[in-house]
Amino acid sequence: MKVEAEAVVLPDSKKKMKLRRLPHVFSRVLQLPFPSNAHVSVEKHPHCFRFVAETCALHVEARTLHISPGLTKILIVTETDDAHFSFHDLDLDIWRFRLPESTVPELATAALINGELTVTVPKAEEHACGGGMMIDLLN
């Protein structure tokens, strides 16, 4: 995704400042309901990424949020998370992982198995097909 920068004139001066994309804004991100220093096992497989962490939650759900065109977040919510916005949602001490462009966030799954949260994010494989590209979803 290419982000175009714009020029802005500050009210106090005649100088123009070029706006830049913030380095911490990525096109695809996985966010888990843990502190940023939590131990999460990240496994990279040919067909998917798998994230495993211990939790005491009883129910989890993977939600895909399209924040803006080209920006997608996979949010893992537990039964204790409130459906309404709160200032806790602005917490910066949350475990996040930048996902590569080859992932398919819309097909992410979350499961609880023996007290372990397992999140699987599948990858897509591109094949040349005539003049365009065909994407095969891998399981």
CATH number at residue 105: 2.60.40.790
* Domain count along the chain: 1
Global pTM exceeds 0.85:
no
d(CA 54, CA 32): 12
Tokens of residue 90, six digits: 């602005």
- pLDDT > 90 fraction of the chain, expressed in percent and rounded: 44
The reply to whether 89 falls in a domain is yes
pLDDT above 70: percentage of residues in the chain: 63
Q: Which range marks the domain in which residue 67 is found?
A: 24-137
135 has pLDDT over 60:
no
Which of 27-31, 68-72, 131-135 has the lowest average pLDDT? 131-135
Q: What is the pLDDT of residues 83-126, one digit of tens each?
A: 544 555 566 788 999 999 899 999 999 999 999 999 999 998 76
